[in-house]
């Protein structure tokens, strides 16, 4: 363990510029100190203040985490039916509940962790059977898993009485003159951050609401969204966020690399595939094709768009109409380009592989096309399926360049972990059955928040946040969405 503490350049890299604590057993989680060998160097330096905040968070999590006397006290208080008074509250928690696919979950979990950092809460994750062991523990000497006997983890929705917005409506919480909340509070609050028609509920990202939310020692949160972006709209959090992230467009990149470490089963898939198919190539291009049933783009149209994108941007070479190499015999210096196709569907791989298998390329490069799996449909309920999905997110993140499908949180996670600006396939214009521009390069590596919060509770700011916040942009693929830049 201690050899990683030596400050040689290699050691610094293994710990991702100080993001990772050196205090873990390496064998229990092989990916933790190994993933850095596969990623390209990060374009964003890690701020010393972020490192300091992470170490402070870890110490607090050890103090308050499951198995500690403080945790037992806090659960006893929770069961007593009312929130503890400020003075008695030693530890505060945010319980993260899963919804949707892996990409959505990773976005909402990073957001929840950032919220915990800003509000001195401890994150506890409800690990359901389909994701058991998918990720390693991220904090040394403690656990982020919600103990199984925790009473409040099922059945929450926008309609729940415990939801903050409903508490406001029915008067169980209210603002008082000093911006706080009068009277005794219920034992916990449910924070519903699931998008409704591409918006988050009103009263979820306003200063006065966060002052009230802050008084609950227990929060249960469910979200499908990258609401980290919305935390930047809150003046109270800005100074801390500025110090932690001098480059705003690096939030998921750093926190995702910090929090997520594939467990040994998923990592085994990554290593086998990488070493077997990708490691030997001169260059690696990732191609992620996500076709969702609600907007099922026909194969021929999508395939044509992918070809247009890759040829226009020099990502793949043209093929010649023959299988004979143009410039004579293949020399040992011939470049090999590996293309990693990641998709639930197999037809994109089949066709692309067929093309480059049969024909020579105009540049003389060899293009080798691979696809790790093709499960056909999403099966979030199946553990092995989720392990393949996670493995493929990481494999994509190890590529030198990636082409991804717009709207896909799966794709967002891969390019944000990599620190790569993708070539993002433009959503289809259904009227024309064509995308005018095949693909566009987003301005940052950050994921998009598809569902911005309504800000009407701060009337003077209920304008387009992009016009007021210098480091926000609308997303290239989701027009009303917001992303950090």
When CB distances to ligand GDP are compared, the closest residue is 101
Distance CA 33, CA 458 (A): 44
Q: What is the CA radius of gyration of the chain?
A: 24
Q: Is 252 in the site for ligand GDP (CB under 6 A)?
A: no
Binding mask 367-406 for ligand GDP (x = CB under 6 A): ------x-x--x-x----xx-xx--x--------------
Please name the residues in contact with 113: beta carbons below 8 A apart, sequence gap of 6 or more. 123, 255, 259
Residue with token string 């592989």: 353
CA end-to-end distance (rounded Å), the chain: 36
The one segment of 206-214, 228-236, 342-350, 454-462 that binds ligand GDP by CB under 6 A:
342-350
Nearer to ligand GDP, 210 or 374 (CB): 374
User: Which string of DSSP letters, residue by residue, matches 132-153?
Assistant: TTSB---STTS--BPPTT-S--
Alpha helices in 289-401 (DSSP H): 299-312, 347-358, 383-397
135 binds ligand GDP (CB under 6 A): no
CB of 266 to ligand GDP, least distance (A): 11
Binds ligand GDP by CB under 6 A, chosen from 94, 220, 344, 369: 344
Separation of alpha carbons 395 and 380, rounded Å? 19
User: In this complex, which beta carbon is closest to ligand GDP, that of residue 21 or of residue 310?
Assistant: 310
At 79, give phi and psi (nearest 5°).
-70, -20
The nearer residue to ligand GDP, 33 or 394, going by C-beta atoms, is: 394
Residue 440 CB, nearest approach to ligand GDP (Å): 18
CB of 479 to ligand GDP, least distance (A): 17
In the bound complex, what is the minimum distance in angstroms from residue 131's beta carbon to ligand GDP? 10
**Residue 424: enclosing H or E segment and its boundaries?**
strand 423-425
Work out whether 342 is an interface residue with ligand GDP (CB under 6 A). Answer: yes
Window 97 to 126, contacts with ligand GDP (CB under 6 A): 100-104
Return the residue of 163, 361, 409, 444 that touches ligand GDP, per CB under 6 A. Answer: 409
Q: Which of 112, 310, 343, 444 binds ligand GDP (CB under 6 A)?
A: 343
Do 444 and 421 meet the contact criterion of CB atoms below 8 Å apart? Answer: yes
How far apart CA 251 and CA 247 sit, in angstroms, is 8
Size of the site for ligand GDP (CB under 6 A): 21
- Say if CB 74 and CB 217 are below 8 A apart: yes
Distance CA 241, CA 248 (A): 8
CB of 292 to ligand GDP, least distance (A): 6
Q: Which residues bind ligand GDP (CB under 6 A)?
A: 100-104, 290, 342-344, 373, 375, 378, 380, 385-386, 388-389, 392, 408-410
């Amino acid at each position: 363990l201690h050899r990683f503490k030596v400050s040689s350049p290699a050691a610094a890299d293994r710990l991702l510029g100080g993001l990772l604590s050196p205090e873990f057993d390496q064998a229990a989680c092989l990916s933790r100190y190994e993933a850095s060998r596969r990623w390209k160097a990060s374009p964003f330096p890690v701020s010393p203040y972020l490192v300091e905040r992470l170490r402070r968070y870890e110490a607090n999590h050890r103090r308050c985490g499951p198995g500690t006397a403080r945790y037992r006290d806090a659960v006893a208080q929770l069961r007593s039916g009312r929130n503890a008074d400020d003075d008695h509250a030693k530890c505060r928690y945010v319980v993260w509940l899963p919804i949707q696919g892996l990409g959505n979950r990773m976005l909402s979990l990073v957001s929840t962790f950032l919220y915990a950092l800003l509000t001195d809460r401890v994150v506890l994750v409800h690990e359901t059977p389909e994701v058991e062991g998918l990720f390693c523990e991220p904090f040394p000497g403690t656990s982020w898993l919600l103990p199984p006997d925790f009473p409040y983890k099922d059945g929450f929705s926008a309609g729940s009485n415990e939801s903050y917005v409903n508490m406001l409506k029915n008067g169980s919480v209210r603002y008082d003159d000093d911006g706080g909340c009068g009277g005794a509070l219920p034992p916990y609050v449910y924070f519903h951050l699931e998008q409704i028609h591409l918006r988050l509920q009103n009263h979820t990202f306003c200063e006065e609401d966060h002052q009230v939310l802050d008084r609950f020692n227990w929060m249960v949160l469910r979200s499908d969204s990258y609401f980290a972006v919305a935390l930047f709209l809150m003046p109270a959090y800005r100074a801390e966020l500025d110090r932690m992230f001098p480059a705003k467009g690096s939030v998921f990149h750093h926190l995702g690399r910090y929090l997520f470490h594939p467990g040994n089963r998923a990592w085994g898939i990554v290593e086998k595939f990488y070493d077997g198919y990708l490691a030997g190539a001169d260059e690696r291009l990732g191609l992620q094709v996500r076709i969702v049933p609600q907007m099922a783009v026909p194969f021929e149209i999508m395939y044509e768009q992918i070809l247009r994108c890759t040829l226009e941007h020099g990502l793949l070479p043209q093929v010649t109409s023959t299988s004979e190499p143009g410039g004579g015999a293949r020399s040992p210096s011939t470049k090999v380009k590996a293309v990693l196709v990641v998709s639930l569907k197999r037809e994109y791989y089949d066709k692309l592989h067929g093309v480059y298998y049969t024909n020579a390329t105009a540049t003389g490069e060899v293009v080798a096309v691979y696809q790790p799996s093709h499960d056909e449909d999403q099966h979030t309920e199946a553990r092995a399926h989720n392990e393949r999905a996670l493995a493929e997110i990481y494999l994509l993140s190890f590529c030198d360049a990636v082409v991804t499908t717009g709207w896909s949180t799966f794709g967002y996670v891969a390019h944000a972990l990599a620190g790569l600006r993708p070539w993002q396939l433009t959503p289809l214009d259904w009227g024309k059955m064509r995308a005018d521009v095949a693909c566009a390069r987003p301005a940052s590596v950050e994921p998009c928040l598809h569902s911005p919060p309504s800000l009407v509770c701060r009337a003077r700011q209920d304008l387009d946040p992009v016009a007021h916040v210098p480091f926000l942009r609308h997303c290239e693929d989701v027009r009303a969405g917001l992303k950090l830049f």
